[in-house]
Amino acid sequence: MDERDQRQQQSTDQEAPGDSAGWKIGLAKALMGLSASVVLTLASFWAAGTHLVWGPGVPVLLAALAIGQMGVHLVFFLHLSSGPEGTNTILALAFGVFVVALVVFGSLIIMANLDAGMHACSMHSPACG
């Protein structure tokens, strides 16, 4: 057994599960994430219902708050980090975002094309007969 294994064995012998001080840090981080989520949610409802924000800017503000909300959830609740163990998680997340964007934007392009084709073949146009 090397020195690292011995230290690991000693640390597991001394502490019972739940006795470490790490749960306090985890609880503090979870409460920070919860409070940030609540603040961003309340800010979104405020932005949608107020007239203090310029009308065409409301969707941009809501999108920015939504992106912030996603960031809070990824960091505080899904524990996404830039450490070595988080690399695969980040790559999986990036691939998932790419696939969702591809499906959404591809569907929008297909629907726009179908809509343009439907307008070309109206009831008064004999060319589509």
pLDDT in tens, the chain (129 residues): 566 666 666 555 565 555 666 888 888 999 999 999 999 999 999 999 999 999 999 999 999 999 999 999 988 988 888 777 778 888 888 999 999 999 999 999 999 999 888 876 666 666 665
Note whether 57 and 87 are same-domain residues: no
Note whether 31 and 51 are same-domain residues: yes
CB 61 within 8 A of CB 47: yes
Note whether 57 and 96 are same-domain residues: no
Domain of residue 39: give its range: 23-79
CB 2 within 8 A of CB 9: no
Q: What is the pLDDT of residue 100?
A: 95
Q: In which residue are the tokens 């439907």 written?
A: 118
What is the rounded distance in angstroms from the CA atom of residue 41 to the CA atom of residue 69?
Answer: 8
Note whether 27 and 65 are same-domain residues: yes
Distance from the Cα of residue 52 to its chain's centroid: 27
Q: What is the pLDDT of residue 116?
A: 85
* Number of domains present in the structure of the chain: 2
Q: What is the pLDDT of residue 12?
A: 55
pTM, two decimals, is 0.60
